[in-house]
Structure 1
Amino acid sequence: MVSTRGSDFAELSRLVKQRGLLDRRVGYYAWYFAGVVGALLLTVAAVVLIGDSWWQLVPAAVLAVVFTQIAFLGHDSGHRQVFASHRANQTAGLLLGNLFVGVGYGWWMGKHTRHHANPNHEDDDPDVDISVLAFSAEQAERKRGFFRFVVKHQAWLFFPLLLLEGFSLHIISAAAAVRREVKGWRLELALLAAHVIGYLALVFSMMSPGKALAFIAVHQGLFGVYMGISFAPNHKGMPVLQAGHQLDFLRKQVLTSRNVTGGWFTDFLLGGLNYQIEHHLFPNMPRPHLRHAQALVRDFCGRHSVSYAECGLFTSYAHVLKYLHEAGAELRGTGKLAPAASS
């Protein structure tokens, strides 16, 4: 669909603002912050109490959930959903990302900002430029060597690859700070170093080296899987845009995004990312307001003939895996890739 009706988003914005859906919810986030920090402290206490035992793999799995929930809160801070002040949100993001989780806030913000500006754009969205995956026929054909093999079987390898995502986030974001590619790289490196030293000191002081390595593998592996399954349903399998598309802001954001339906548990599980359409239209909308905005946005899209994609959680994963399987079809010699672009 081609449109130049920029006034559509202006009209929707007025409706959203009239309902107060962009107003800050500091109280909500204060309770949320207290909850995740409390969960973190309780998990650390469990590690200390359990000591040198294979039962440590239980708090390792719990810590993966806690880390991801903290990352969700850092995501909200990065979008200025928490505080009105940019400095306050940035400070919260640095503490939550670098110090608590060990993922560089500056690197993530740069990457995520580019994603929001051009979601699912083959040239401009960094989330569509992943070395071990392909989302279009052109991308699949450009892969060589080991990466070509992975793309050929990427649907089957997708979830196993997510086991490495946590390690990848730590390494790539730290490398960006080391290369001074982020503003305030000294502070970011200091906070990352504090995280690594504290994390390793806790793990290796509480258990034998073998159990400590197993703890790290389980924790970081499940952290990567949880992060991956939280972000994957949002855009994968939706239209991939190419240079020269003529979609206006509203249609660019809505047509490339997918919502995941469900109740309060889905909201908690995915950290509000299940309202991906509303989040992309209004990135600074506080998380508890997204579910209230959904009915308004869905109705608005219906009245303006804009396709609004939503499905259940497991159906969303089926869409992702099907798309990845089709993307590798030409490399397997079993068929043709699904359409790669929309304009």
Structure 2
Amino acid sequence: MGKGANNLSSSDLTISSHEPPPKTLISWEEVQKHNKKDDCWIVVKDIVYNVTNFKKKHPGGNKIIEFYAGQDATEVFNAFHKDFDRVYKYAKAYQIGQIDPNDQSRLKLSDEEKQKIQREIEIREDFKQVKKAAEDMGLFKPSYTFFFLHGFHIVFFQMFGYYLLLNYADSSFFAILLALACNVIAEAQSGWAQHDYGHSSFFAKPNINKYFHLFFMGCIKGASSDWWTYMHNMHHAKPNVIEKDPDVRLEPFFVVGTVEPIRRAEKNAKKKVENLYPYTFQHYLFPIAAPLLFPLLFQWTTIRHAIKRRKYLDLISMAPMFILHFAVTYTTFQSVFKCLAYFFVMRLFESAWFTWVSQCNHIVMDVHDDVEYDSWLHLQIKATCNIEKSWFNDWFTGHLNFQIEHHLFPTMPRHNLYKIQPLVQSLCKKHGINYIVKPFWQAFYDILLSLKKSGELWQEAYDEIMLSM
């Protein structure tokens, strides 16, 4: 390839720039020293940026930048941003130098570490070619018909549910159940719609996507758009990375993967206590916890986030959902208790739908510590798997049955993810990377199986540590 294993260069990864690079030369060893919250440097296309003061202004949240402090952030930058020229224009103010092309600091690495870096460089080059092919195929261009019909069916189900409540609830309990089903479908599908706009996969300009995101997340779901963006960007930046991905911070009720159970056992043993229950029972708890996640945690968390961070636009966008929903249900039931009960049950089903779908792609995979030299491809595929394609699977999961492709290309419109799948599979086969596709039922069952195995690992580690004390 013509690149030394000691130089982890990303210069062939695309960021448009017509400006000459800064003249100050900086070694990788120096960059790696600046990996703290109050001293944060990142590298994008071999240009070094001091983003210590910028990270709080970052639209995607400060954490995503902190995750890459002292590291090469080129691939994550390319994955999250569409308009490279626009972003680069603002980024120039934070440039402090460029990576020394003759940097010798990585010669200190072991031969095994150098070989790993060389493999990652080759993977990055091939992945760049796959992304270029996706661009040439027009896979980053949305179908306006698809997004219109998807949005229309969400609004239709929501309004039809309310119509049934207002006109037929008094005469038929079946009408109430049908209305509930319609509202659950609208809420769950709105979750997939807001996910699309949150990733800016429809409009070219992020601000326009933001307004649609506010509509589906706020007006339909009654949740904070900013909260979702903050949490979800962390997830995509470092999926399944311990202490960084919020989606795998499941303590104190769950331990996942193979690393966290042992650490949790060490903490429990040190305090000479187990938990409220042994983790060997966690696979029984999940089906109970999944429906309760939204009504007992997320609903309050999103409102608190908007209030605490003074996201007034979020609060304004959330108001129509609660006003309309409780106006309709109170008119129907003439009881505050019944209104709240209907809302709670709706959230229960929506929560179960979302939680099973979102977790079947992730917690069953490798949950690990941060590894500096992982390519974007390696980082994402270690943490994701797919579910087989069918019209129902596509609809039910919001096309997140193509979780691998979505994580590799988060701004790609979801209706195009299956089109890039063959190229991703070929790339994985070339580099010996395990690409996993499961039947729908197996993906859900594997959640319980994975939790059972992690719980047993915790028990074994806990017993061993207690016996040695």
TM-based fold match above 0.5: yes
Tell me: CA distance 1:189–1:303, structure 2 relative to 1, closer, same or farther (3 Å).
same
Displacement, 1:139? 5.5
- Give the aligned partner of residue 7 of structure 1: 125
Equivalent residue of 2:304, what SS? helix
- Give the aligned partner of residue 261 of structure 2: 137
Alignment partners' CA distance in 2, 1:25 and 1:166: 31
1:44-83 residue CA offsets vs partner (Å, 9 max, x unmatched): 1111112346432332133112111011010000111111
Displacement, 1:191? 2.1
Q: Which amino acid aligns with 1:243?
A: D
Alignment partners' CA distance in 2, 1:140 and 1:152: 13
Alignment partners' CA distance in 1, 2:328 and 2:262: 46
Displacement, 1:27? 2.7
Displacement, 1:163? 1.4
Displacement, 1:93? 0.3
Residue 163, structure 1, aligned to residue 287, structure 2: no
RMSD across aligned positions (CA) = 2.4
Equivalent residue of 1:244, what SS? coil
- Give the aligned partner of residue 325 of structure 2: 199
In the alignment of these two chains, the number of paired residues is 334
Mapping of residues 150-299 of structure 1, within 5 Å: 151-167=279-295, 168-180=297-309, 185-209=311-335, 211-299=338-426
- Give the aligned partner of residue 82 of structure 1: 202
- Give the aligned partner of residue 341 of structure 1: none
- Give the aligned partner of residue 137 of structure 2: 19
Q: Which moved more, 1:325-334 or 1:33-42?
A: 325-334
Q: Which amino acid aligns with 1:173?
A: T
1:249-275 residue CA offsets vs partner (Å, 9 max, x unmatched): 111111211000131110011001000
Q: Going by fraction, where is helix more abundant, 1 or 2?
A: 1
Q: Which amino acid aligns with 1:160?
A: I
Cα pair 1:104 1:170 within 8 Å, conserved = no
- Give the aligned partner of residue 92 of structure 2: none
Percent of matched pairs sharing the same residue: 24
Q: Which moved more, 1:46-55 or 1:24-33?
A: 46-55
Cα pair 1:57 1:218 within 8 Å, conserved = no
Displacement, 1:148? 4.5
Displacement, 1:150? 7.2
Q: Which amino acid aligns with 1:229?
A: W
Alignment partners' CA distance in 2, 1:28 and 1:336: 54
- Give the aligned partner of residue 108 of structure 1: 228
Q: Which amino acid aligns with 1:203?
A: T
Q: Which has the larger radius of gyration?
A: 2
- Give the aligned partner of residue 327 of structure 1: 454
Displacement, 1:246? 2.8
Tell me: CA distance 1:57–1:218, structure 2 relative to 1, closer, same or farther (3 Å).
farther
Tell me: CA distance 1:19–1:230, structure 2 relative to 1, closer, same or farther (3 Å).
same
1:205-226 residue CA offsets vs partner (Å, 9 max, x unmatched): 2114354344223211001001
Equivalent residue of 2:163, what SS? helix
Of 288, 292, 307, which aligns to 2:434? Answer: 307
Q: Which amino acid aligns with 2:293?
A: E
Tell me: CA distance 1:107–1:336, structure 2 relative to 1, closer, same or farther (3 Å).
farther
Q: TM-score, structure 2 length as denominator?
A: 0.67
Q: Which has the higher contact order (CA 8 A, sep 6+)?
A: 1
Residue 62, structure 1, aligned to residue 182, structure 2: yes
Q: Which moved more, 1:145-154 or 1:196-205?
A: 145-154
Tell me: CA distance 1:336–1:323, structure 2 relative to 1, closer, same or farther (3 Å).
farther
Equivalent residue of 1:123, what SS? coil
Displacement, 1:137? 1.3
Cα pair 1:235 1:257 within 8 Å, conserved = yes
Q: Which amino acid aligns with 1:120?
A: N
Tell me: CA distance 1:296–1:335, structure 2 relative to 1, closer, same or farther (3 Å).
farther
Q: Going by fraction, where is strand more abundant, 1 or 2?
A: 2
Q: Which amino acid aligns with 1:254?
A: I
Of 26, 44, 51, which aligns to 2:169? Answer: 51
Q: Which amino acid aligns with 2:195?
A: H
Q: TM-score, structure 1 length as denominator?
A: 0.90
Cα pair 1:166 1:224 within 8 Å, conserved = yes
Residue 317, structure 1, aligned to residue 435, structure 2: no
Equivalent residue of 2:400, what SS? coil
Alignment partners' CA distance in 2, 1:83 and 1:155: 41
Q: Which runs of 5+ in 2 are unaligned?
A: 1-114, 465-469
Alignment partners' CA distance in 1, 2:219 and 2:185: 17
